[in-house]
């Protein structure tokens, strides 16, 4: 039997964590957004599609307070109510025309809360609940 070397656990404390189908997102207490795992659709938001086994800093959006991973997309909410998304957009789950967004792009403003399930994004605003993406 062969012993496999593992990376030492990070000393950065995680404030929030969320997983997509094959990728993970986290926010550290010092405000950095991390991603790891599958990145075939650009869901890490770092401008390319290279996968990463260990958490890496991925975006430079300031004051991110919540992250969520969909099947192949990622969402980030800042404390001003701006919702950003990246990754696959083939079903319109990021509300843009492009099929993929490799860097976080503004999806909605004045957002109170949001969620994702599969290839759908849900947004709660003062005037109602909105969704975009697949309808099944």
The model's pLDDT over 63-94, given as tens digits with 9 standing for 90+, comes to: 999 999 999 999 999 999 999 999 999 999 99
The span from the CA of 62 to the CA of 89, in Å, is 23
Asked if residue 101 has pLDDT above 80, the reply is yes
Asked if residue 4 has pLDDT above 80, the reply is no
Greater confidence, 128 or 29?
Answer: 128
Model-wide pTM > 0.85? yes
Asked if residue 6 has pLDDT above 80, the reply is no
Asked if residue 98 has pLDDT above 70, the reply is yes
The end-to-end CA distance of the chain, in Å, is: 47
Q: How many Cα atoms sit within 13 Å of 44 on the Cβ side?
A: 22
Q: How many Cα atoms sit within 13 Å of 28 on the Cβ side?
A: 15
What confidence score (pLDDT) does residue 117 get?
Answer: 92
Greater confidence, 55 or 1?
Answer: 55
CA 107 to chain centre: 12
Q: Decide: 104 and 83 in contact? Cβ < 8 Å.
A: no
What confidence score (pLDDT) does residue 7 get?
Answer: 61
* pLDDT category of residue 12 using cuts at 50, 70 and 90: low
């Amino acid at each position: 039997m062969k012993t496999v070397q593992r990376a030492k656990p990070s000393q950065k404390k995680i404030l929030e964590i969320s997983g997509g189908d094959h990728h993970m997102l986290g926010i550290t207490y010092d405000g950095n957004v991390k991603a790891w795992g599958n990145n075939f659709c650009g869901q890490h938001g770092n401008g390319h599609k290279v996968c990463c086994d260990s958490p890496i800093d991925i975006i430079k959006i300031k004051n991110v307070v919540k992250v969520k991973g969909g099947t192949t997309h990622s969402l980030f909410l800042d404390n001003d109510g701006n919702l950003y998304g990246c990754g696959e957009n083939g079903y319109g789950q990021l509300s843009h025309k492009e099929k993929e967004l490799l860097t976080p792009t503004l999806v909605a403003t004045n957002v109170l809360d949001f969620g994702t399930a599969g290839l759908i994004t849900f947004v709660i605003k003062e005037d109602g609940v909105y969704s975009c993406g697949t309808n099944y």
